């Protein structure tokens, strides 16, 4: 064999290895491209962010009363939280036979004497889907003309309208400039003209008011004649979403007073001033004249920044809890964090954080701590704080915020609150009291 010449067998083996490596690399590249295409095809790329100012395709309320906002193949549940795929909740809307582009309209039928009470209807092109308890009803989807005769295909929006808001129990359908009032009882259809309303891309009834969404704005309207009263349109993110950044035109006081997003925490101090926290902001209602101010949490409580879990007032101090930390502020201008804080919630309250709600009643020295569906007592006068007297809540199993004042205990659930005359009635009562609206009855919002 000549010097410098490699054996033929070794050279062939090397070339074979190179070929195999190229094939493997090509296969990996194909798999990566296929995965990327699949992600795009399934809607996993470019997931929508509602805080960027989306135009929603449809809005409705679930059987449990939770607002559902739809965009493309995605669903936002409630006023905060990330997008999730529609097919995870309503699989037939986006299956192997029909890949969902967007939902045209949706509403929940809410007439207790009707056979389809609490059914949710979805409109896609010329078809309608009816769900009850997240299960597709037998025989659906059907043609829109079969279920709602006289109503056109390819709708823009729909909203249910019970009497006396409308003349009878009706559903209002929107398609461009055309307005259709569908009478549920006799299936009669009336065409009406809403002159002062923009074209709705989605609509829904919430807290007995009617809202037309157009772009990332909304207008509140009268369901009978479509009249829009007041200063509209307004930014949807200000009132129906929990976002940290808003438009430059946002009136921060009106937004926080009138937002439908639930409060994170609420309390009143010894002077009767009320503090209410939501996301990155808080409301302050002056106990002397009831004027309301709003500000970013970090401007007054810079160590907290945002997202307060629970707060209570005791002896001119605000006990503020976030995750597993407790911050103790002196009520003053500015509010001052005491030395040595934050401390762990466990160290100060005797419970592991996070805490759902907490309050102290006037002239009392016991903090009532709500965690899950149980309430605990913590004696504040002693040097060692221990959570005792654990007992279950009898009426309300999920509390967002709570406070106690000379009039009793106010318990916030979603965008409503309940007033109990005493702690005992809240913890072990038999009847749940009347609902009150946080925005209207606590902060004087007119819508």
Domains of the chain: 50-250 (2.110.10.10), 253-442 (2.110.10.10)
Q: Averaged over 403-412, what is the pLDDT?
A: 92
Q: Averaged over 48-55, what is the pLDDT?
A: 82
d(CA 158, CA 155): 8
Is-contact 79 32, C-beta < 8 A?
Answer: no
The more confidently predicted of residues 156 and 78 is: 156
d(CA 169, CA 182): 9
Is-contact 243 381, C-beta < 8 A?
Answer: no
Of residues 382, 397, 387, 403, the one with CA closest to residue 427: 397
d(CA 421, CA 409): 6
According to the model, what pLDDT value does residue 396 have? 92
Percentage of residues of the chain with pLDDT beyond 90 = 51
Q: Look at residue 17 and give its three-state secondary structure.
A: helix
d(CA 148, CA 407): 50
Which strands, in side-by-side order, build the sheet including 357-360?
357-360, 366-371, 374-379, 387-392
DSSP character string of 231-275: S--EEHHHHHS--S---TT--HHHHHHH--SPPSEEEE-TTS-EE
Q: What beta strand segments (E) does 110-224 contain?
A: 120-124, 127-132, 135-136, 142-143, 157-161, 170-175, 178-183, 189-192, 202-206, 209-214, 217-221
Asked whether residue 8 carries a pLDDT value surpassing 50, the answer given is: no
Q: Averaged over 30-42, what is the pLDDT?
A: 40
According to the model, what pLDDT value does residue 37 have? 38
Confidence of residue 370 (pLDDT cuts 50, 70, 90): very high
Q: Averaged over 111-125, what is the pLDDT?
A: 88
Place of tokens 């995965």: 35
Burial code (b: 16+ CB inside 10 Å, e: under 16) for 48-70 equals bebeebbebbbbbbbeeeebbbb
According to the model, what pLDDT value does residue 238 have? 78
For 92, the token pair is 């037939």
Of residues 338, 340, 337, 394, the one with CA closest to residue 370: 394
Average pLDDT of the chain, as a whole number: 85
Of residues 129, 151, 115, the one with CA closest to residue 60: 129
Is-contact 250 269, C-beta < 8 A?
Answer: no
Asked whether residue 257 carries a pLDDT value surpassing 60, the answer given is: yes
Confidence of residue 210 (pLDDT cuts 50, 70, 90): very high
According to the model, what pLDDT value does residue 27 have? 46
According to the model, what pLDDT value does residue 15 have? 55
Which residues are CB-neighbours of 242 under 8 A, at least 6 positions away?
79, 80, 261, 278, 279
Confidence of residue 147 (pLDDT cuts 50, 70, 90): very high
Segment 53-103, tens digit of pLDDT: 788 999 999 888 888 999 999 999 988 778 999 999 999 998 777 788 899
Place of tokens 């907290």: 304
The more confidently predicted of residues 2 and 21 is: 21
Q: Counting Cβ atoms within 10 Å, is residue 18 exposed (0-12), middle (13-18) or buried (19+)?
A: exposed
Asked whether residue 148 carries a pLDDT value surpassing 90, the answer given is: yes
According to the model, what pLDDT value does residue 230 have? 80
According to the model, what pLDDT value does residue 116 have? 86
The more confidently predicted of residues 42 and 101 is: 101
Is-contact 112 81, C-beta < 8 A?
Answer: no
Is-contact 329 335, C-beta < 8 A?
Answer: yes
Asked whether residue 269 carries a pLDDT value surpassing 90, the answer given is: no
Segment 380-395, tens digit of pLDDT: 987 778 999 999 998 9
According to the model, what pLDDT value does residue 31 have? 42
Segment 225-245, tens digit of pLDDT: 888 888 888 888 878 887 765
pTM score, two decimals? 0.60
**φ, ψ of residue 130 in degrees (nearest 5):** -115, 125
Q: Hey, what's the torsion of the CAs at 367, 444, 426, 280, to 10 degrees? A: -50
According to the model, what pLDDT value does residue 338 have? 95
Is-contact 418 410, C-beta < 8 A?
Answer: yes
Confidence of residue 33 (pLDDT cuts 50, 70, 90): very low
Q: Alpha carbon of 235 to those of 240, 247, 254, 306: distances in Å? A: 9, 8, 11, 22
Q: Hey, what's the torsion of the CAs at 314, 439, 202, 400, to 10 degrees? A: 30
According to the model, what pLDDT value does residue 146 have? 96
Min mean pLDDT across 11-15, 71-75, 190-194, 318-322 is at 11-15
The more confidently predicted of residues 254 and 148 is: 148
Of residues 280, 339, 349, the one with CA closest to residue 319: 349
d(CA 153, CA 278): 41
Q: Counting Cβ atoms within 10 Å, is residue 161 exposed (0-12), middle (13-18) or buried (19+)?
A: buried
For 221, the token pair is 């309207």
Is-contact 276 263, C-beta < 8 A?
Answer: yes
Q: Averaged over 159-166, what is the pLDDT?
A: 92
The more confidently predicted of residues 289 and 349 is: 349
According to the model, what pLDDT value does residue 249 have? 60
């Amino acid at each position: 064999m000549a010097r410098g010449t490699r054996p033929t067998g070794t050279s062939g083996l090397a070339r074979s290895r190179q070929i195999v490596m190229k094939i493997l690399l090509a296969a990996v590249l194909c798999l990566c491209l296929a995965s990327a295409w699949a992600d795009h095809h399934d809607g996993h790329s470019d997931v929508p962010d509602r805080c960027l100012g989306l135009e929603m395709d449809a809005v409705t309320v679930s059987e449990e009363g939770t607002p559902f906002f739809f965009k493309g193949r995605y669903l936002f549940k409630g006023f905060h939280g990330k997008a999730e795929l529609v097919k995870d909740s309503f699989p037939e809307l986006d299956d192997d036979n029909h890949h969902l582009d967007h939902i045209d309209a949706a509403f929940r039928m809410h007439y207790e004497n009707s056979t389809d009470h609490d059914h949710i209807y979805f409109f896609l092109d010329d078809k309608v889907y009816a769900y009850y308890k997240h299960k597709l009803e037998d025989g659906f989807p059907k043609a829109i003309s079969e279920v709602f005769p006289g109503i056109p295909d390819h709708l823009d929006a729909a909203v249910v309208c019970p009497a006396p808001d409308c003349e009878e129990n009706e559903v209002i359908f929107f398609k461009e400039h055309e307005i259709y009032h569908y009478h549920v009882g006799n299936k009669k259809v009336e065409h009406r003209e809403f002159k002062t309303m923009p074209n709705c891309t989605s609509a829904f009834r919430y807290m007995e008011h009617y809202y037309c969404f157009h772009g990332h704005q909304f207008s509140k309207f009268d369901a009978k004649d479509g009249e829009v009263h007041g200063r509209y349109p307004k930014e949807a993110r200000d009132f129906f979403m929990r976002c940290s950044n808003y438009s430059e035109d946002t009136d921060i006081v009106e937004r926080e007073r009138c937002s439908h997003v639930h409060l994170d925490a609420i309390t009143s101090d010894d002077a009767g001033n009320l503090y209410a926290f939501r996301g990155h902001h808080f409301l302050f209602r002056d106990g002397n004249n009831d004027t309301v101010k709003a500000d970013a949490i970090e401007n007054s409580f810079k160590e907290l920044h945002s997202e307060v879990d629970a707060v209570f007032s005791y002896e001119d101090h605000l006990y503020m809890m976030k995750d597993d930390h407790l911050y103790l502020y002196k009520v003053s201008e500015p509010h001052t964090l005491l030395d040595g804080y934050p401390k762990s919630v466990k160290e100060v309250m005797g419970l592991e954080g996070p805490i759902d709600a907490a309050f102290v009643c006037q002239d009392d020295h016991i903090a009532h701590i709500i965690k899950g569906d149980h309430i605990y007592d913590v004696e504040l006068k002693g040097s060692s704080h221990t959570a005792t007297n654990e007992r279950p809540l009898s009426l309300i199993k999920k509390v967002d915020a709570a406070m106690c004042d000379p009039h009793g205990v106010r318990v916030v659930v979603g965008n409503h609150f309940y007033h109990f005359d005493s702690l005992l009635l809240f913890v072990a009562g038999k009847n749940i009291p009347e609902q009150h609206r946080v925005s209207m009855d606590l902060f004087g919002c007119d819508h």
